[in-house]
Structures are given as C-alpha cells and as structure tokens.
Amino acid sequence: MSSCAGICTRPSSPRATGCRTTRNKVLARIDRIQNGNFGDSKSLGDNLFELRFVFGGGLRIYYTIRHHQVVLLLNGGSKSSQSKDIEKARQMIQELE
C-alpha cells in the first residue's frame, strides 16, 4: 500500500477520546498498516475489511482499499455493536464511489 487516508465520523473515535491506551494502540496499528503489516485483519466481502483488536471490549475498525490506498472507516466499535457498525461501514463505502 502506498498510503493511508482516514475518515472520522464519530466524536468517540480514538483520535477524539481521552483514552490514551486505546488511542496509542490504534495509531501504532495505523503506522504498521502504512508499512504493509495489517496484523489481525479479516475480509468481510465486497472490499470491506475488519481490523480486530484484542484489548478492552474487542475494538473493531473497518476499512476498504481504493486505488492502492487504505481508507480507514473509523465508525467501528466493540464486538457488541459489530453488526450495526459493519452496515454503517458498507454505507460509507457506497459514499466513496
């Protein structure tokens, strides 16, 4: 991947929250993605992927790849809100097209 781009739609995203541990882990993961290391990642079909984090409540962040660029869809959440978050990520992908 040549670069990463971010879309932040929730004020509770790691960049906006006061939780330094979560924020630092997410930002470290984004740095690794820029070097091609996605870590624990899963394809959900239709060019939607899920980054899985094993700390806390099982944080999920959804992303897609457009024109060799990773687009982070920071609408993810915990395992308990996964279905709703995936649907929102799919809507965001449609908005990119």
DSSP result, 25-54: HHHHHHHHHHTT---SEEEEETTEEEEE--
Burial 63-87 (b: 16+ CB within 10 A, else e): bbeeeeebbbbbbbbeeeeeeebbe
Instruction: Return the structure tokens found at 12.
Output: 């509770």
Give the right CATH number for 3-96 from 3.30.2310.20, 2.30.30.60, 3.30.499.10, 3.30.70.260.
Answer: 3.30.2310.20
C-alpha separations of 3 from 9, 12, 21, 47, 57 in Å: 20, 24, 24, 17, 28
Cα separations (Å) of 27 from 45, 70, 72, 91, 96? Answer: 25, 14, 12, 24, 23
Give the residue extent of every domain in the chain: 3-96
pLDDT in tens, the chain (97 residues): 434 454 444 545 555 544 778 888 888 998 998 888 999 999 999 989 999 988 767 889 999 988 888 777 667 788 888 899 999 999 988 887 7
Model's pTM, two decimal places? 0.73
